[in-house]
Amino acid sequence: MTGPETVVEVDGTVVAVPEGASLLAAVRAAGIELPSLCSDDRLSPAGSCRTCLVRADGRVAAACVTPAAPGARVETATDDLRRLRRDAVEVIVSALPSRALTTGNRSELARVCRSLDIGQEAARGAGGRGGDDSHPYVHLDRDLCIACGRCVRMCAEVQGTFALTLVGRGADTQVAPGTGGPWAESDCVACGGCVDTCPTGAIAEPGPGRGLTSAHRPSATRTTCGYCGVGCALDVVTRDGEVTAVLPARDGPVNQGHACVKGRFAHGYLTSPERLTRPLLRRDGRLEPASWDQAIGEVARGLRAAVAAGGPDAVAAISSARATNEENYLVQKFMRVVVGTNNVDNCSRLCHSPSAAGLTASFGLSGGTDTFDDVERSDCLLVVGANPVEAHPVVGARLLRRVLHGAGLVVADPRAVGLALHADVHLRPRPGTNVALFHGLAHVLLAEDLIDEEFLRERATGLTELAALLDDYPPDRVADITGVPATDLVAAARLYGRARRPAILYGLGVTEHLHGTDGVRSLANLAILRGAVGTDRGHGVMPLRGQNNVQGASDMGALPDVLPGYGRVTDPAVRSRAEAVWGVPVPERPGLRIPGMFAAARAGELRALWVIGEDVCATDPDANQVTRALDTCPLVICDELFLSETARHADIVLPAASWLEKDGTFVNFDRRFQRVRPAVPPPGGTRADFAIVHAVASAMGTALGCATPAEALAECGRVAPVFAGLTHGRLDREGAVPWPCPDPGRPGEAKLYEERFATADGRAHLAAPPYLPPGEQPDDDYPLLLVTGRRWAHYNSGSMTRRGGNLTLDPVDFLDLHPGDALRYAVDDGVPVTVESRHGRARLIARISEQTAPGQVFCAIHFPGSGVNRLTSHHADTVTSCPEYKVTAVRVSGQPRRGTTATGQWE
């Protein structure tokens, strides 16, 4: 325990609890369980059920709402207290129908009744209030509601959605969606918080997971979520080799007992009949089933032939931000050791490669500077180009919680994303103008002396150059470039500049631009100017990672220019350290990036491409050109769960295991290594990528060593000293450990740069890139700007979330457009529209919304069938080749309703 304590005596036992803790916490610290039907540690106390009565210094009190006073003497076990608590529970139970206490009922209430010897006959309610089973994941049985309000508080205080309320009066009080209609049409985002806290089963997950909660679960497998990069710890309950329920871990270091609709519920894809369970080989133009021996043999033969024909650099691999660290380590080792090329990349190229380049240049390391826990200590959050409420819901909820507790909030995003509704200032820059916006904020910080001069003098470089550049970015000029009113810009800069401990969080709205790396660097400037990085005067700069292991895939060296731990392949000392471990020379020349791989394939220079767990035909920009590259490349190998668009264009398809079936580790967005454990066995016929890579290496005559994922991580630590302190055993003991972690006996560094920055001179580097316009601008032919992104119920290409209840929650691929634009282009709400860019065409359903700014349209990336990535351009960050997904000039035209299916999708 850290911080001040309060010491009390509970039934003769002396216990210490944190200052301000309740008597209920003290009683529990003494190892005594009390009924507490309206209480949940994650929530503010309500004190409404009176089931937790104790006597404190002679007075009977509800333990959950009574603070533990120093020296208090607490009694829990006297006959009168037992009787009072039992009476309170009996009163509650008497209003419920008998099914509330059926034998084997797993609810908290049923367990409390069993402990108090209250039988089913005590439940004498008539029932008849009915239920609501409109939602795929959350069912309501009104008869079982005891109006404890836990679900309402969970939705408001933890999730920040405020979708639920209590309605009715007296004994008729019950929970209901705040919108009044069916649950499925409410504001519920299916985080599962209400299901998890409900003590009676009134709100429950349908199916075999019914009644399971994180507080009272049967034995489960602890793993790390394989959806976004938040890194939620999950407990997976299984029966007969199938997942029964996925519960948020109360002690999860990031999620703290919370989850979202994806991690919590979207596991139906595991048993989808569309799951690939046999390798496929292309014969006579068709993909046909084959044995693993045949498939691995063909892969080995094909790769050998490609090397023989074009040399090692005629082979390339796209590793996977969905795969484990150990798999990524093995893939890059395979390419460098077995094939002899640095042609390996991963999808961070398409999302956060500008973060890696920008943060490394500014601070020295490729990763967020602080831990997300610092959000709880921050008094001002600057959230830029991110929609965490939808894309990283658990982070979004924690941010919102902090704001509701008083932190200032500046949101910079062209769209009115969820957090913007709670912002003190919402800046809505035109897409592609970030660098000017950040320079405008920096201009105000300098002009109003909101900078940390001592920090700049002692720990930073580049102020003179930046100050000279910022002369050209006064608020009025920035307003002209960005469309952000100068008064808003000044207000935002003052909020950030005057905060005691500000923090910056950002997403792909900063990186996926023609000048994405400049964006990252000019955003990092703000933290440096303010002395808010590497000090206790702020919480730095944190990129919100999109995929579960996009940080780890890069950390492991699945990149063409760096080895594990980010040592450059061009550095002889870095190569020789790897060569000492691997026993072979490491190629010196940096390899191809993903766009370069496709270009080389189209040019006939790439003879084999291995795509691991990425649907590049769906997710990469200018998708028509990607497809052409795959069709041109003589050998395309694809590891996949389903027959994705990329798999359809492959010559060899290898059925892979998913994250719930694997052993290894992921690294989340704030650099924490966490264990991934197989909760269920992979379906017969599938293999983990780890085993596939080993098998191919073996077939090519090379033993890669590190036979297990644990051995692979240990070996990685010998190649990259920053990971040397990390092992599976340590993670099993400690849960989460951040890197850098060079020493097994010391904690990893959650907060970076407290002594010095990791740059060559130990200083933070201010950058002075001028604002340059994006690759595309609206014109008469293409008058609107398209921004792509994510929606709350789906994930990436949707291959997992479209196979289950999430599709019911969000079945339609919408194009959001402003009412004014809808009027201007004669588009009605709900009608199909054609969207055209200079690169391709897509068809979506129009949704008129003021969330999108005038002159802009927005669509998600989750429905590849709509062809969204046929619209996006070839423009890419000039430093890292990260595509400019966030700025594409388009035009829209309405279409007649006929030709659509019942869900509005085009036939």
Q: Are 465 and 514 in contact (CB under 8 A)?
A: no
Q: Which is nearer to ligand FES, 85 or 439 (CB)?
A: 85
Question: Residue 678 corresponds to which amino acid?
Answer: P
- Minimum CB distance to ligand FES, residue 150 (Å): 9
- Minimum CB distance to ligand FES, residue 144 (Å): 17
Contacts of 8 (CB under 8 A, 6+ apart): 14, 15, 17, 23, 26, 68, 69, 70, 71, 72, 73, 74
The one segment of 48-56, 367-375, 495-503, 770-778 that binds ligand FES by CB under 6 A? 48-56
Backbone angles phi, psi at 48, to 5 degrees: -100, -20
Q: What is the 3-state secondary structure (H, E, C) of 710-753?
A: HHHHHHHHHHCHHHCCCCHHHHHHHCEEECCCCCCCCCCCCCCC
Q: Which is nearer to ligand FES, 39 or 627 (CB)?
A: 39
Q: Which is nearer to ligand FES, 59 or 733 (CB)?
A: 59
Contacts of 464 (CB under 8 A, 6+ apart): none
Give the pairing type, strands 635-640 and 652-655.
Answer: parallel
Cα–Cα–Cα angle for 860, 864, 869, rounded to 5 degrees? 70
Q: Which is nearer to ligand FES, 39 or 806 (CB)?
A: 39
The token pair at 402 is: 């902090």
- Minimum CB distance to ligand FES, residue 63 (Å): 6
- Minimum CB distance to ligand FES, residue 24 (Å): 7
Cβ atoms within 10 Å of 273's Cβ, excluding its own: 6
Q: Which is nearer to ligand FES, 149 or 302 (CB)?
A: 149
Q: Which is nearer to ligand FES, 43 or 559 (CB)?
A: 43
The contact mask relative to ligand FES for 721-760 (x = CB under 6 A, - = no) is ----------------------------------------
Q: Are 802 and 790 in contact (CB under 8 A)?
A: no
Q: Which is nearer to ligand FES, 67 or 206 (CB)?
A: 67
Q: Which is nearer to ligand FES, 108 or 620 (CB)?
A: 108
Q: Which is nearer to ligand FES, 216 or 568 (CB)?
A: 216
- Minimum CB distance to ligand FES, residue 202 (Å): 16
Distance CA 421, CA 361 (A): 34
Could you give the C-alpha distances from 740 to 42, 329, 512, 724, in angstroms and in order?
A: 31, 17, 27, 9
Q: Which of 18, 47, 168, 894 binds ligand FES (CB under 6 A)?
A: 47
Q: Which of 39, 213, 433, 668 binds ligand FES (CB under 6 A)?
A: 39
Q: Which is nearer to ligand FES, 39 or 482 (CB)?
A: 39
The one segment of 47-55, 350-358, 592-600, 752-760 that binds ligand FES by CB under 6 A? 47-55
The token pair at 361 is: 């240049």
The candidate with the shortest Cα–Cα distance to 315, out of 606, 587, 595, is 606
Bridge partners, 889 (sequence order): 785
Q: Which is nearer to ligand FES, 146 or 527 (CB)?
A: 146
Does 198 interact with ligand FES (rule: CB under 6 A)? no
Q: Which of 21, 52, 190, 629 binds ligand FES (CB under 6 A)?
A: 52
Contacts of 373 (CB under 8 A, 6+ apart): 253, 750
Q: Are 318 and 346 in contact (CB under 8 A)?
A: yes
Backbone angles phi, psi at 859, to 5 degrees: -145, 160
Does 49 interact with ligand FES (rule: CB under 6 A)? yes
Q: Are 542 and 220 in contact (CB under 8 A)?
A: no
Half-sphere exposure for 887 (CA within 13 Å, toward CB): 26
Q: Which is nearer to ligand FES, 39 or 799 (CB)?
A: 39
Q: Are 730 and 713 in contact (CB under 8 A)?
A: no
Counting residues that bind ligand FES (by CB under 6 A) gives: 12
Q: Which is nearer to ligand FES, 92 or 860 (CB)?
A: 92
**b/e per residue 799-825 (b: at least 16 CB within 10 A):** bbbbbbbbbebbebbbbbbbeebbeeb
The one segment of 32-40, 627-635, 726-734, 813-821 that binds ligand FES by CB under 6 A? 32-40
Which residue bears the tokens 């470039």? 481
Does 50 interact with ligand FES (rule: CB under 6 A)? yes
The one segment of 31-39, 154-162, 522-530, 547-555 that binds ligand FES by CB under 6 A? 31-39
Half-sphere exposure for 297 (CA within 13 Å, toward CB): 5
The token pair at 41 is: 């540690």
Q: Which is nearer to ligand FES, 38 or 541 (CB)?
A: 38
- Minimum CB distance to ligand FES, residue 729 (Å): 40
Backbone angles phi, psi at 367, to 5 degrees: 175, 165
What residues numbered 466-495 form the site for ligand FES, per CB under 6 A?
A: none
Cis before residue 678, ω within 30 degrees of 0? no
Cβ atoms within 10 Å of 501's Cβ, excluding its own: 16
Distance CA 293, CA 277 (A): 14
Distance CA 518, CA 835 (A): 30
Q: At what angle do helices 623-632 and 594-602 cross, to 10 degrees?
A: 60
Does 392 interact with ligand FES (rule: CB under 6 A)? no
Q: Are 196 and 179 in contact (CB under 8 A)?
A: no
- Minimum CB distance to ligand FES, residue 148 (Å): 7
The one segment of 35-43, 530-538, 661-669, 689-697 that binds ligand FES by CB under 6 A? 35-43
The candidate with the shortest Cα–Cα distance to 3, out of 19, 15, 16, 14, is 19
Q: Which is nearer to ligand FES, 53 or 827 (CB)?
A: 53
- Minimum CB distance to ligand FES, residue 36 (Å): 4
Does 56 interact with ligand FES (rule: CB under 6 A)? no
The one segment of 49-57, 628-636, 695-703, 719-727 that binds ligand FES by CB under 6 A? 49-57
The contact mask relative to ligand FES for 58-77 (x = CB under 6 A, - = no) is ----x-x-------------
The one segment of 50-58, 331-339, 787-795, 819-827 that binds ligand FES by CB under 6 A? 50-58
Q: Which of 25, 26, 28, 36 binds ligand FES (CB under 6 A)?
A: 36
Q: Are 636 and 611 in contact (CB under 8 A)?
A: yes
Distance CA 412, CA 506 (A): 9
- Minimum CB distance to ligand FES, residue 823 (Å): 53
| Dmax (CA) of the chain | 89
Residues, the chain:
907
Q: Which is nearer to ligand FES, 88 or 835 (CB)?
A: 88
The one segment of 44-52, 649-657, 821-829, 851-859 that binds ligand FES by CB under 6 A? 44-52
Cα Rg of the chain (Å, integer) = 28
Q: Which is nearer to ligand FES, 48 or 179 (CB)?
A: 48
The one segment of 43-51, 565-573, 719-727, 820-828 that binds ligand FES by CB under 6 A? 43-51
- Minimum CB distance to ligand FES, residue 52 (Å): 3
Question: Residue 261 corresponds to which amino acid?
Answer: V
- Minimum CB distance to ligand FES, residue 57 (Å): 18
Backbone angles phi, psi at 419, to 5 degrees: -65, -25
The one segment of 34-42, 134-142, 603-611, 756-764 that binds ligand FES by CB under 6 A? 34-42
The token pair at 135 is: 């939602």
Q: Which of 6, 51, 387, 548 binds ligand FES (CB under 6 A)?
A: 51
Does 37 interact with ligand FES (rule: CB under 6 A)? yes
- Minimum CB distance to ligand FES, residue 60 (Å): 12
Does 38 interact with ligand FES (rule: CB under 6 A)? yes
Q: Which is nearer to ligand FES, 109 or 499 (CB)?
A: 109
- Minimum CB distance to ligand FES, residue 127 (Å): 23
The contact set with ligand FES (CB under 6 A) reads 36-39, 47-52, 62, 64
